[in-house]
Structure formats: C-alpha cells, structure tokens
Homo-oligomer: A and B are copies of this chain.
Amino acid sequence: MKIVNDVRPTTMYAALARQLTGEIESGRYKVGQKIPTEAELQQRFDVSRHTVREALRDLKDRGLLTARAGIGTVVRAKGSSTRFMQGIGTLKELIQFVEATRMQVLKRRVLVADEDLAERLSVKAGQELHEAFVLRFLPKEVAPVASMYIYVRAEHGNVLDYIDKAGQPVFSLVEKHHGVRIVEVRQQIVAANLEPSEARVLKARTSTPALNISRQYFDTQDRMVMASVGLYPSDRFSHNTKFRIQSVDEKEAP
C-alpha cells in the first residue's frame, strides 16, 4: 500500500502557484496589497508570461487573488484560515460532519450497475459495485439525521467492513487502504419527499420534505472511486454555506 502524499509540484506553474501561495500566507504580500506584476514575476522566476498567468489563474480560482487590467493583481485573502467560495472550507465541513456523527450499517450487497445507476454514479454500465445502506446519527439522538447508500468499486469493497468503526469519512478509508487519491468531489442537492419505506427507517412521517444529496468522489484518472446518495429530512438537517468575498475597489496604502 503506497500513500502518495505527493506535495512536490510536478509542473512549473504548479510550483510557482505554490511558491506564491506560501508568500501570501507568510505575509510577504498582505491582503489588499498588490503583488508584483506579471512581467516582474516572469523575470524573477525566469519563466514565460504564460506560465506566470497559469499560476495566477490557479490562485484566482482559489479566491486568493483578484486581477484588474490597468491596476494589477491584489491579494484578496490569505489561504488556509478563511473559507472561500471555491468550496475549500466546504470539504472540511464535510469531514467535520462525518466525524460528528456515528454510522450504523443496515445492509450490504454486491451489485452490477445498470444503465440508470451507472448514469447517476458516473460509472460505466456493468461496473460491479459494493453497496452499503447506512444510517447516520447525531451523538445523543435516536432518530437518524440521514439515511444513505454508499457505493465503492468492487476492488475496494472491503473498506465497507470498517466504515462504522473508523471515525473517518469513507473516502479517506479508500484512500488509505488502496492508495488512490481523491481529487474531486461533485455534489448534487435536489429536493424530495420521503417515501413510506424511507420514512420508516428514518423514523419520520411519510412525505416529509427532505434533501437528497448525492456525492461522487473522483481520483486523478477521473475515475469514480466512491459515491453516496443520502436522504436528509428537512426538520433535522439544513445545508449551510458561507462565502467570503472581497470586491476590490480601492485600498489605503500601508
């Protein structure tokens, strides 16, 4: 089992992005201040302007920088601590949610994805999958916060043996046990009404409104590694997000 916690950048713009991120976090460039121009960065790191722009694009996408023609590129926020629009903090929330709840496995089975399921989980039809049907509970509650189906590929099926014991998200179990790295998570939220059978296991009334939250986890090869489809009754769960923005208009000098 090989854990590739590969932090060393593989491309030049990734390296540059990392370097700049560090300089922002370390306070060399402060929030509200301008960073050097593209031309200056180009000289300083001896790369082409295109490479500089790719790196800057990365930081912009992550909400750390904003650029305006004629002005320059301004630090919008400094990394890790705050939450940004890109969902960086949302993943942390996801992990926190998992760690704050306990899980009870009700059913297990092995199945082959038909057209419909394959479509919903972003796998090819015919893919063999292991499925677990679980309930999630808050610490002292008797009624579950959510019911959910969890799917992993057949070759990773054994992780489902541990999911109710390890107090960590299923996706990190797969990462640790099988050396894959999750790189992207896609989440879809739709509204639903509880069917009688669903209401029963959730100890809720039939046709209570609920959030249907599906998540799919992808590795570096864009392969679906894990998926979950959950029902969260509206009286027990709400989905909250907070975006911090800083629209840049002007700034006082230091």
Contacts and interface: CB of A to CB of B under 8 A. Distances in A.
Interface string A6-19: 11000000000000
A20 interface: no
Contacts of A68: 221-222
Contact of A7 (B187, B193, B233, B249): B249
A159 to B, nearest CB: 16
A242 B92 contact: no
Interface string A76-119: 10000000011111111000000000000000000000000001
| Interface size, A (range) | 35 or more
A199 to B, nearest CB: 13
Nearest to A74: B222
A59 B184 CA distance: 16
Given A66-B222, A222-B66, A222-B68, A88 B243 contact: yes
Interface in A152-177: 175
A238 interface: yes
Most buried by B among A6, A31, A63, A85: A85
B243 A86 contact: yes
A207 B87 CA distance: 24
B87 A242 contact: yes
A182 B85 CA distance: 14
A197 interface: no
A186 interface: yes
A244 interface: yes
Nearest to A5: B247
A43 interface: no
B190 A238 contact: yes
Most buried by B among A184, A189, A238: A189
A13 to B, nearest CB: 13
Interface of A: 5-7, 31, 63, 66, 68, 76, 85-92, 119, 122, 175, 181-193, 207, 209-211, 221-222, 232-234, 238-247, 249
